[in-house]
Amino acid sequence: MEDGIILIDKPAGMTSFGVVARIRRVLSAEVGKKVKVGHTGTLDPFATGLMILVVGKECRNAGTYTKLDKVYEATFVLGETSSTGDPEGEIIKQSDARPNETEIRSVLAQFTGNIRQRPPVFSAIKIGGRRAYDLARKGEDIEMPEREVNVYSLELLSYDYPEIKVRAHVSSGTYIRSLAVDIGKVLGTGAYCSQLRRTAISKWMVSEAKTLESFGITN
């Protein structure tokens, strides 16, 4: 393929840029010249699931895919907080409080619809032309601007303390890690996102995606 899109099921432990680099290397080797490959929205290293890669001339349309709605399945851990909002940060015990399922559903309802959220400091958002996570790692004080996002639905899949499992259908630009942190604050327990999987981007489903192994990529 020299022009078009590729659906990839990203594995955990790999950056989105790492996925792009590996696919670019394989495609370039196949055609005997460098093939342009880009992504249409990053997934955190700990996250898995659907990525849409644009190839060749389709790279000019990357922004169109970036703006599409997305669906995630996530696990939030109550009673603890993380410096990054995910399992890669420093985990700190916060509370032993155990909200019941009715309380959980009530709080989830508060985060449905148009909401304002502050993206994580450890994110790929650019601040002054530099990635926020680069600034954060250097210990620089960063004020992330709030943004308005739309949570079309936030469904409780299961609750077995301390874990809440949810399915979220959200607009582009929504951070599930921030959602976990904000929900933990309202519950008074603290929370972080321990697992995250993107299952859909608009009409494209992760079930349609290829694995890196199908391209002969093993690491």
pLDDT of residue 57: 95
74 neighbors 174 (Cβ within 8 angstroms)? no
Q: Is 44 a catalytic residue?
A: yes
Residues 54 and 76 in one domain: no
**Average pLDDT for residues 54-64, to the nearest whole number?**
95
Amino acid at 20: V
35: CATH: 3.30.2350.10
- Of 71, 40, 52, 44, which is closest to residue 200 (Cα–Cα)? 71
Residue 81 exposed, middle or buried by CB count within 10 Å (0-12, 13-18, 19+): buried
Residues 80 and 62 in one domain: no
pLDDT at 132 over 70: no
pLDDT of residue 68: 97
Residue 80 exposed, middle or buried by CB count within 10 Å (0-12, 13-18, 19+): middle
pLDDT at 135 over 60: no
17 neighbors 133 (Cβ within 8 angstroms)? no
- Of 83, 10, 80, which is closest to residue 44 (Cα–Cα)? 10
Residue in the block written with tokens 């979220």: 168
Residues 149 and 206 in one domain: no
User: In the chain, helix, strand, coil percent, each to 5?
Assistant: 30, 35, 35
Out of 44, 69, 134, 182, pick the active-site residue: 44
* H-only helix segments in 46-139: 62-66, 101-110, 132-137
pTM above 0.85, yes or no: yes
**Cis upstream peptide for 162 (omega within 30°):** yes
Positive or negative torsion for Cα 149, 155, 157, 159: positive
Q: Which two tokens stand for residue 192?
A: 């972080």
pLDDT at 177 over 80: yes
Q: How many domains, in total, are found in the chain?
A: 2
pLDDT category at 40 given cuts 50, 70, 90 is: very high
**190 lies in which domain range?**
70-201
Residues 126 and 41 in one domain: no
pLDDT at 79 over 90: yes
pLDDT at 127 over 90: no
Residues 145 and 189 in one domain: yes
> What is the Cα–Cα distance from 85 to 70, expressed in whole angstroms?
19
